[in-house]
Each structure stands twice: as structure tokens, then as C-alpha cells.
Amino acid sequence: MARVKIVTDSTSDLPVNVVRDLGITVVPLYVHFGEEVYQDGVDIKSDEFYARLVEEPILPKTSAPSPDTFTRLYNDLAQEADGVLSLHIASNLSATYESALNGCNGTKCRISVVDSRTTSMGLGLLAITAARAANDGATLEEIVELVYATIPRIRVYAAIDTLEYLRKGGRIGKAQWLLGSLLRIKPLISVVDGHVTGVGKARTHVKAVRKVQQLTESVGDIEEMAIVYNTNRDEAEALAESVSHLIAEEKIIYTTFGPVIGTYVGPGAIGIVSLQKNDT
């Protein structure tokens, strides 16, 4: 049994089977539809969320777990662990990292809290890397060092139908330059050093997805890959086939943008998250 436990949050968009197989603990963020509050991925699933996102007149809000939530979790894990690595969504995008950090007060084992500087399966691939190392017997210090070395090799590219959800949610960051042609383009975004950044635009959804493929091809040799989408699995599989020359298709992870990330990317989003091979 791994003596270091890996904790992440629900913005990692990790598939349930991966979480189970690697022994990762996922702390849910919250989605608010008016007075109704749901735990991301627990009380509300992606299909129900996207249906409501389109139908509801008011954009849902999101919130981070409380420090007490993390304190209780860390103390529970301390009963069977020598240490905990708590790895979270970029601090520029959410208060989750700060809550996790504050939750360390009064805990019974060593905790290292890491700002991933990314989100969605960028965070997910980091959690997978950390969990594999923990299951192989690595120490907390070794895993923290590995994660920090891996963060710069994460690439996140997504095509979204509109920046409107990012704009309304206040997460537009360095993609601000795309706003001038909001209604006439399909934006391409990335997450770079904790900021949502515009990396291109296309006239149609099909062309935008093609550009996501091209951006991924420019990454170089790839070690891990995930296709993240909303509801169109067929499109995700077609995209995976188009990049199968970069990595074996059977190694590609399929997952959906969960409700918290979906609040900002909106319906119709699809992306590729990859981990660049280490040259050393």
C-alpha cells in the first residue's frame, strides 16, 4: 500500500476508473444554480449539468471546498499514510489551492500542497503521474519534485464555441484579445502558467478542432494524452484517431469536462491535454 496519498480536486476531470485504480482522492468543488448547491461530479453529472446550462437563464456559479473539508480529509488519510500530496487547480482560477493550504493547520501527518498552474486533465495527468510514483513507493519529497518537474511539460488546448461563459465567469484571463470577434469565431484556448490564454481562432467548429490537433502535433514527442469533451463521444473518438500517430490510441484517456470546468467552457467544448516526453 502506498504510504503517500494523492489528493486532487474535481476540476481534474479524472475518469472514475482511473481514480479508483490509482487510489486518488478527489475533493469536489461546488456548482450553484441559484439556491441549489451541488457537489461537482457527485450530486450532478455532466449530462444533467449541460442540459441545465443551456436551459437556465442565469449562469451557474462555482465555489471551492472549505479549509475544514481538507483538514478532515487529511486527518482521515493520516491514519494510513506517512504523507499527503494535495495537488490542485491553478490558484489564479480558484480559491481551492488556498483552502487546501489553510486546511493543513492542525493535521496529523506531513502535507505538501501544490499549485498545478493548470486545470482539467492537465491537473489530471499530474495527479496520475504522482499516484503512480506513490504506488511505486516514492517518498513525499520525491513525488513533489517529480510533480514540479512535470508541470512545465503539460499542454492544454481546447476549442470552445464561445468565450461568453469564460467572460461571464470572470476567467477570461489572457484570452481577452479574442473578445473583439466573439460572435464570429470559434476560440482556441490554453492554460499557460495558471492563466486562460487565447492561442488562436477559427471560423467553424470543425476548423477549430483541426487547429487543436495541429497545436498538439507541434508539442513534440508525447508521453500521455487525454481527449476531453462535453457530450459528443463520436467527435472525441474521431479526434483521437486523428492524433493516433502521436500516441497509441489505446493509451488515450477519454473524459468529459465536469460541471465546474463546464461552467466556463460552455457546451460544445473539446480539447486535447498532453504530457510532453522528458528529454533528459
Task: Tell me: do 222 and 262 sit in the same domain.
Answer: yes
Residues 161-214: tens digit of each pLDDT: 877 776 665 555 545 545 545 556 788 999 999 998 888 889 899 999 999 999
Q: Per the structure, how many domains does the chain have? A: 2
Q: What is the mean pLDDT of residues 38-50?
A: 87
CATH number of the domain residue 66 falls in: 3.40.50.10170
Query: If pLDDT is split at 50, 70 and 90, which confidence band does 155 have?
Result: very high
25-27 and 4-9 as β-strands: parallel, antiparallel, unpaired?
parallel
Contact present, 192 and 164 (Cβ < 8 Å):
no
145 plus 174 within the same structural domain:
no
Task: Specify whether 66 is located in the same domain as 17.
Answer: yes
Question: Mean pLDDT in the chain?
Answer: 90
The domain spanning residue 201 has which CATH number? 3.30.1180.10
User: Which pLDDT band holds residue 226 (cuts at 50, 70, 90)?
Assistant: very high
Entry pTM: 0.92
* Residues 103 and 183 occupy one common structural domain: no
107 and 142 in a single domain? The answer is yes
Same domain, 135 and 193: no
Domain that holds residue 39: 4-151
Both 60 and 120 in one domain: the answer is yes
Q: Which of 130, 151, 172 is the last residue of a domain?
A: 151
pLDDT digits over 69-123, tens only? 999 999 999 999 989 999 999 999 999 999 999 999 888 889 999 999 999 999 9
DSSP secondary structure code for residue 79 in this structure: T
Which of 33, 34, 14 has the alpha carbon at shortest distance from 24? 14
